C-alpha cells in the first residue's frame, strides 16, 4: 500500500520575521495532539548550500541535526514543538537544489536537454520534498517557505509547490499564508491592505491560500476577519488571529482556540475526530513556563549578543530548565567583546553560560568570565568554545601562562585545545567540522553522570548521545597535567580518545562540554545538564540573597 502524506505549505507575506516558523510548528503541535505523525521541511531560498558558513548575525543560530546538517534555526522550533528529531534533508536551500541539478547535468543525466528552471529545478524541488517526506510514514508534512511572497528567489519554489498541489491533489495539499496586520495609531485601527496585497501577489503565482493567519500586536475582531476573508477570497473561518503572546509556547493554544485543527482536518480530509485532540500535556508545560518566582539570573556571555536569535536554542533550553526547576529565568546577554567585564553586572548573576563561537574576537572576555566564576564559586556552564575557554583559563591559572587554543594562537607553548591531525589538512570552510551526533561515555560519580541520572532522570545512563559542531578538541597531550591540577574529565568518546566533558569537583557547578546539549532540550523534557546547572544557579541565588 502506498502511504499517502498530506502537505501543509506555509508562506509569508507583508514583512519577514513575523513568526512563520512558530506558526507552522504550532499547527504541527495541534496535529500531533490528534495522534498524527507530523514531519517538517524548511525551505530557505538563499544560495548558501547550508547555514554552516552563515554568520549568526545573518539568520541567527545554526541549528545542527542529529545527522550533522547545519540548518536554519526554524528546524529547532520544529524539533521542540513536535518533539521529533528531523533529518538534515528537512532543510532545502536553493544551493542544495542547484548543486544537485548541476551535478546531474555534469553526469549527463538530462540526455542532452537544455536544463531550465522549469521543469528541472522545480522537479528537483518536488523530488527533494517527496524524498524527505518519504523518510518516515508521515501523516502530514509541514513545508515552510522562507522569505516573503514576492521575493525573486522564492519564485521557483512557489511554482514547484503549486505543481505539487496539482500532482498530489487539492484534497491533500493546503496553503496557509501568514501575514502581518499593522495597527495605525493615527487612524486608531488595524489595516487589511498589506494582507490584501500580499495575498494578491501569492495568487499571481497561481496559488490561492486556504487559510490566512493574521499576526498582530493585539487581537483583531470578527468584523475585521470577515473583511480579510472577503477581500482575500477565503472562508470567514479560514481567517485566524495569532496576536503577540508572552511565550511562543502559547501559540499552539491560541491557534487551537481559533479551531485551526478542525479547519485543517476538514480541508485536507484528515481521518481524525476533533474530540481526540489532546493538548492537556502542552497546557501543563505552558503553565510551568509561567512561574514568576523565585527569579534566577543567568547571563550568556558571548560575542553575538546583538541578535538574540544567535543563541536561540540556548535561551529556550534555559527556559525549559527554569520551568523544570520551578524558577523564573531572568536572562541577560553580556558582550564578551569588551576590554573589561563589568564587575557589578557579574555580581548580580546566579550563573554564567559561555556559548559556542568561532574566531578570536571576544575570547579574552570569556576567559575573564571563567576566572570570575572560579574565584566567586559562581555556577558556570561552557558549551563548545565555552568549554575551550574553561580549559584554557584553568591551564593558565595552573602554571601554563600562555595556554590557548591553536584557533587563536598557533605559537602558544600550551596548546591545550588543538586541531586533530586529520582536520589539519582541510582547507574548505563548509561542512569540515565534527558535526552531528556522537556517543559519549560518562564517568560515574561525576556532576555530568549525576546530571544525566538525577531524580528527574532516574536511570543509569552511562552512554549518552549529543550533537557536535566544531573543529578543535581538547589536546590529550595536556590531559595528565590538567588532571593533576584538579580538572576532572567526566565524559569521553567510547574509544576513550576524545574528551567530551570537563568539570571541577570542588566548585558548585563548573562544567564544560564539547557538544551542544541545547539542540536536544524540549519544553516538556528539559536537558539534564541545563536542569542541573539551573538547580545550582537557584541554590546560589538562594544562598546569596
Ligand atoms: N571555534 C571552535 C571550534 O571550531 C568552537 C566551535 C563552537 O563553539 N561551536 O572548535
Domain with 106 in it: what CATH number? 3.40.50.300
Does 203 belong to an annotated binding site?
A: no
DSSP assigned state of 537 = H
> Do residues 4 and 172 touch, judged by C-beta distance below 8 A?
yes
> Do residues 388 and 499 touch, judged by C-beta distance below 8 A?
no
Domain span at 369: 291-544
If one residue of 363, 470, 474 were mutated to test the ligand 1 pocket, choosing by the most ligand atoms within 8 A of its CB, it would be 470
- Residue 5 domain flag: no
| Cβ-based neighbour number of residue 262 at 10 Å | 16
Same domain for 175 and 79, yes or no, is yes
533 CA to middle of ligand 1, Å?
A: 21
HEC string for 371-404: HHHHHCCCCEEEECHHHHHHHHHHHHCCCCCCCE
- Residue 1 domain flag: no
pLDDT at 16: 79
CA nearest to 65, candidates 93, 83, 88: 88
> Do residues 469 and 431 touch, judged by C-beta distance below 8 A?
no
Query: Residue with the nearest Cα to atom 6 of ligand 1?
Result: 470
CA nearest to 433, candidates 516, 362, 490: 516
pLDDT at 340: 81
CB of 282 shorter than 6 A to ligand 1 = no
Same domain for 144 and 176, yes or no, is yes
522 CA to middle of ligand 1, Å?
A: 24
| pTM (predicted TM-score) | 0.93
If one residue of 303, 407, 438 were mutated to test the ligand 1 pocket, choosing by the most ligand atoms within 8 A of its CB, it would be 407
180 CA to middle of ligand 1, Å?
A: 37
Phi then psi for residue 255, to 5 deg, are: -70, -35
Same domain for 67 and 171, yes or no, is yes
Rounded to whole angstroms, the Cα distance separating 517 from 528 reads 9
Decide the pairing of beta strands 351-354 and 380-383. parallel
Does 236 belong to an annotated binding site?
A: no
307 CA to middle of ligand 1, Å?
A: 19
Same domain for 399 and 367, yes or no, is yes
Longest dimension (CA), the chain: 75
CB of 80 shorter than 6 A to ligand 1 = no
CB of 385 shorter than 6 A to ligand 1 = yes
Does 153 belong to an annotated binding site?
A: yes
Query: Residue with the nearest Cα to atom 1 of ligand 1?
Result: 358
CB of 392 shorter than 6 A to ligand 1 = no
Same domain for 523 and 424, yes or no, is yes
Same domain for 267 and 314, yes or no, is no
Same domain for 86 and 229, yes or no, is yes
Query: Residue with the nearest Cα to atom 7 of ligand 1?
Result: 356
- Give, rounded to a whole angstrom, the gap between the first and last alpha carbons of the chain: 64
pLDDT at 60: 87
CA nearest to 468, candidates 385, 398, 526: 385
Rounded to whole angstroms, the Cα distance separating 395 from 514 reads 17
Does 22 belong to an annotated binding site?
A: yes
> Do residues 314 and 302 touch, judged by C-beta distance below 8 A?
no
Does 144 belong to an annotated binding site?
A: yes
Nearest atom of ligand 1 to the alpha carbon of 357: 8
Is 170 tagged catalytic? no
CB of 261 shorter than 6 A to ligand 1 = no
| Active-site residue, selected from the candidate residues 384, 440, 466, 500 | 384
Does 204 belong to an annotated binding site?
A: no
Same domain for 314 and 335, yes or no, is yes
Rounded to whole angstroms, the Cα distance separating 65 from 85 reads 7
Return the C-alpha cell found at 501: 566533558
Decide the pairing of beta strands 70-71 and 173-180. unpaired
Same domain for 256 and 323, yes or no, is no
Could you say which of 239, 260, 286 is where a domain stops?
A: 286
Is 109 tagged catalytic? no
- Residue 458 domain flag: yes
Is 516 tagged catalytic? yes
DSSP assigned state of 115 = P
pLDDT at 306: 78
Return the C-alpha cell found at 52: 554552516
Nearest atom of ligand 1 to the alpha carbon of 407: 1
CB of 519 shorter than 6 A to ligand 1 = no
- Residue 3 domain flag: no
CB of 407 shorter than 6 A to ligand 1 = yes
| Active-site residue, selected from the candidate residues 61, 466, 518, 527 | 518
Same domain for 203 and 347, yes or no, is no
CB of 386 shorter than 6 A to ligand 1 = no
- Residue 2 domain flag: no
Does 352 belong to an annotated binding site?
A: no
CATH of the domain at 332: 3.40.50.880
Cis peptide before 153 (omega within 30 of 0): no
Rounded to whole angstroms, the Cα distance separating 523 from 531 reads 12
- Residue 4 domain flag: no
Name residues whose C-beta falls within 8 Å of residue 124's C-beta, 6 or more positions apart in sequence.
Answer: 97, 100, 101
Could you say which of 269, 286, 303 is where a domain stops?
A: 286
CB of 469 shorter than 6 A to ligand 1 = yes
CB of 434 shorter than 6 A to ligand 1 = no
- Residue 439 domain flag: yes
Return the C-alpha cell found at 523: 519544553
| H or E element at residue 140 | strand 140-145
> Do residues 211 and 10 touch, judged by C-beta distance below 8 A?
no
Number of structural domains, the chain?
Answer: 2
Query: Residue with the nearest Cα to atom 8 of ligand 1?
Result: 356
Same domain for 319 and 276, yes or no, is no
* Cα 495 to the center of its chain, rounded Å: 30
- Residue 421 domain flag: yes
Rounded to whole angstroms, the Cα distance separating 524 from 289 reads 10
Same domain for 252 and 345, yes or no, is no
Q: Calculate the alpha carbon distances from 211 to 33, 192, 521 in Å.
A: 20, 15, 31
Rounded to whole angstroms, the Cα distance separating 227 from 248 reads 27
> Do residues 503 and 446 touch, judged by C-beta distance below 8 A?
yes
Rounded to whole angstroms, the Cα distance separating 479 from 277 reads 54
Tens digit of pLDDT at every position of the chain (545 positions): 556 899 999 999 888 778 899 999 999 999 999 999 999 999 999 999 888 888 877 788 999 999 999 999 999 999 999 999 999 999 999 999 999 999 999 999 999 999 999 999 999 999 999 999 988 889 999 999 999 998 999 999 999 999 999 999 999 999 999 999 999 998 889 999 999 999 999 999 999 999 999 999 999 999 999 999 999 999 999 999 999 999 999 999 999 999 999 999 999 999 888 777 788 999 999 999 998 889 999 999 998 887 888 999 999 999 999 999 999 999 999 988 887 888 888 999 999 999 999 988 889 999 999 999 999 999 999 999 999 999 999 999 999 999 999 999 999 999 999 997 666 655 555 557 899 999 999 999 999 999 998 766 667 778 999 999 999 999 999 999 999 999 999 999 999 999 999 999 999 999 999 999 999 999 999 999 999 999 999 999 998 87
pLDDT at 144: 97
Could you say which of 286, 304, 322 is where a domain stops?
A: 286
pLDDT at 394: 98
Does 65 belong to an annotated binding site?
A: no
| Active-site residue, selected from the candidate residues 59, 77, 470, 516 | 516
Query: Residue with the nearest Cα to atom 9 of ligand 1?
Result: 356
Rounded to whole angstroms, the Cα distance separating 241 from 258 reads 7
pLDDT at 430: 57
CB of 357 shorter than 6 A to ligand 1 = yes
Amino acid at each position: 500500500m502506498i502511504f499517502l502524506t498530506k502537505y501543509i505549505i506555509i508562506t509569508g507575506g507583508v514583512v519577514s520575521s513575523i513568526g512563520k516558523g512558530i506558526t507552522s510548528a504550532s499547527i504541527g503541535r495541534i496535529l500531533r495532539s490528534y495522534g498524527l505523525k507530523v514531519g517538517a521541511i524548511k525551505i530557505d531560498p538563499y544560495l548558501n548550500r547550508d547555514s554552516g558558513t552563515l554568520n549568526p548575525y545573518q539568520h541567527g543560530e545554526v541549528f545542527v541535526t542529529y545527522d550533522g546538517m547545519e540548518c536554519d534555526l526554524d528546524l529547532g522550533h520544529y524539533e521542540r514543538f513536535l518533539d521529533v528529531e528531523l533529518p538534515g534533508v528537512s532543510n532545502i536551500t536553493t544551493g542544495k537544489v542547484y548543486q544537485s541539478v548541476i551535478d546531474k547535468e555534469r553526469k549527463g543525466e538530462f540526455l542532452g536537454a537544455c536544463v531550465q528552471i522549469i521543469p528541472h529545478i522545480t522537479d528537483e524541488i518536488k523530488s527533494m520534498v517527496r524524498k524527505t517526506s518519504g523518510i518516515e510514514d508521515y501523516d502530514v508534512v509541514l513545508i515552510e517557505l522562507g522569505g516573503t511572497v514576492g521575493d525573486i528567489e522564492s519564485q521557483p519554489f512557489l511554482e514547484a509547490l503549486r505543481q505539487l498541489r496539482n500532482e498530489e491533489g487539492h484534497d491533500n495539499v493546503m496553503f496557509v499564508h501568514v501575514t502581518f496586520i499593522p495597527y495605525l495609531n493615527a487612524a486608531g485601527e488595524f489595516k487589511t491592505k498589506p494582507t490584501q496585497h500580499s495575498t494578491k501577489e501569492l495568487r499571481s503565482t497561481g496559488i490561492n491560500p486556504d487559510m490566512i493567519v493574521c499576526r498582530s500586536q493585539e487581537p483583531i475582531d470578527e468584523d475585521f476577519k470577515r473583511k480579510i476573508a472577503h477581500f482575500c477570497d477565503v472562508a470567514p473561518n479560514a481567517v485566524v488571529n495569532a496576536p503577540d503572546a508572552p511565550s511562543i509556547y502559547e501559540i499552539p493554544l491560541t491557534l487551537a482556540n481559533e479551531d485551526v485543527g478542525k479547519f485543517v482536518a476538514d480541508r485536507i480530509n484528515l481521518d481524525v475526530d476533533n474530540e481526540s485532540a489532546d493538548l492537556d500535556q502542552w497546557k501543563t508545560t505552558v503553565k510551568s513556563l509561567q512561574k514568576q518566582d523565585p527569579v534566577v539570573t543567568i547571563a550568556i556571555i558571548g560575542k553575538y549578543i546583538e541578535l538574540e536569535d544567535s543563541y536561540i536554542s540556548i535561551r529556550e533550553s534555559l527556559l525549559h530548565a527554569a520551568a523544570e526547576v520551578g524558577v523564573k529565568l531572568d536572562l541577560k546577554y553580556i558582550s564578551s567583546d569588551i576590554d573589561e567585564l563589568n564587575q557589578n553586572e557579574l555580581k548580580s548573576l546566579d550563573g554564567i553560560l559561555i556559548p559556542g563561537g568561532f574566531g578570536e574576537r571576544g575570547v579574552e572576555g570569556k576567559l575573564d568570565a571563567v576566572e570570575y566564576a572560579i574565584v566567586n564559586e559562581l555556577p558556570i556552564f561552557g558549551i563548545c568554545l565555552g568549554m575551550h575557554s574553561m580549559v584554557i583559563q584553568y591551564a593558565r591559572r595552573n602554571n601554563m601562562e600562555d595556554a590557548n587554543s591553536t584557533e587563536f594562537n598557533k605559537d602558544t607553548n600550551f596548546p591545550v585545545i588543538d586541531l586533530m591531525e586529520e582536520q589539519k589538512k582541510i582547507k574548505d570552510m563548509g561542512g569540515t567540522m565534527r558535526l552531528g551526533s556522537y556517543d559519549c561515555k560518562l564517568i560515574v560519580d561525576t556532576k555530568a553522570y549525576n546530571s544525566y541520572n538525577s531524580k528527574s532522570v532516574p536511570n543509569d545512563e552511562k552512554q549518552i548521545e549529543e550533537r557536535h559542531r566544531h573543529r578543535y578538541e581538547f589536546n590529550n597531550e595536556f590531559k595528565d597535567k590538567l588532571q593533576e591540577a584538579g580538572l576532572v574529565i567526566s565524559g569521553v568518546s567510547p574509544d576513550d580518545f576524545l574528551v567530551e566533558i570537563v568539570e571541577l569537583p570542588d566548585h558548585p557547578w563548573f562544567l564544560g562540554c564539547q557538544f551542544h546539549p541545547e539542540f536536544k532540550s524540549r519544553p516538556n523534557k528539559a536537558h539534564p545538564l541545563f536542569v542541573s546547572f539551573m538547580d545550582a544557579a537557584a541554590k546560589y541565588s538562594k544562598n546569596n540573597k
